[in-house]
Amino acid sequence: DAKTTQPNSMESNEEEPVHLPCNHSTISGTDYIHWYRQLPSQGPEYVIHGLTSNVNNRMASLAIAEDRKSSTLILHRATLRDAAVYYCILRSFGGSNYKLTFGKGTLLTVNP
């Protein structure tokens, strides 16, 4: 599986935008970029995913570099509820790649 690299931790203030980076320099052409987050004492929660184009949904935006070797998850206005561990995961299109490979992720702290 292609590897992702994320900062161990980041800090933000409430109601400010947050940009969470992810490097994936060995990404293949069939890899989707997925983001999940895990709030304390809960299971992981799907946030967003994309392949080549930038994506938006009600939770966040995903900006993908033109060469696809990096991506950024954007939370437009952080709230206290956004404090969580954020995981950037690559998942291949096709084949039998059923598992999600979770790394250590980025611990996001949101200050009031």
Partner 1 sequence: NAGVTQTPKFRVLKTGQSMTLLCAQDMNHEYMYWYRQDPGMGLRLIHYSVGEGTTAKGEVPDGYNVSRLKKQNFLLGLESAAPSQTSVYFCASSYDRGGIGNQPQHFGDGTRLSIL
- Binding positions for partner 1, rule: CB under 8 A: 32, 34, 41-46, 49, 51, 87, 91-105
Give whichever of 58 and 99 is closer to partner 1, judged by the CB atom.
99
Which CB sits closer to partner 1, 5 or 111? 5
Q: C-beta of 1: minimal distance to partner 1 in Å? A: 11
Measured from the CB atom, the residue of 7 and 44 that comes closer to partner 1 is 44
| Residue 109, strand partner residues | 11
Is the sign of the CA dihedral 20, 24, 28, 31 positive or negative?
negative
